[in-house]
Amino acid sequence: MSSNVALNHSEKAYALLKADADKILKLIKVQMDNLTMPQCPLYEEVLDTQMFGLSREIDFAARLELIDEKEGKALLEQLERELSILHEASLKSK
């Protein structure tokens, strides 16, 4: 039973981190579509702040052994790739 509880906590922690990553991506999409250009300091400030916060969440979850450190880094790298693709697309459409 103990391993089932640990697995459930691990799955829940990863799902929460993934949801936060998805929120960041959505926030940046909305900001790029409606508010500012990627070169704008406001855009960079929001992105930096959100990415830093997520990286700290991932670090915390990894230190608690709720997620594997490699899994957390992979989640962050995936978000960075998606944001890079979004950034490139916005530059081409302008």
Local confidence band at 94 (pLDDT 50, 70, 90 cut-offs): low
Question: Domains in the chain, please, with CATH?
Answer: 2-93 (1.10.287.750)
Residues in the chain: 94
pTM summary value: 0.81
Cβ atoms of 38 and 90 closer than 8 Å: yes
Render pLDDT for 11-29 as a digit per residue (tens, 0 to 9): 999 999 999 999 999 988 8
pLDDT value for 88:
81
Listing DSSP states for 32-79 in one string gives: IIII--TTSHHHHHHHHHHHHHHHHHHHHHHHTTSS-HHHHHHHHHHH
- Where do we find the tokens 């459409």? 93
Query: What confidence tens digit (pLDDT) does each residue in 35-63 have?
Result: 556 566 767 787 889 999 999 999 999 99
CA-wise closest residue to 10 among 82, 68, 91: 68
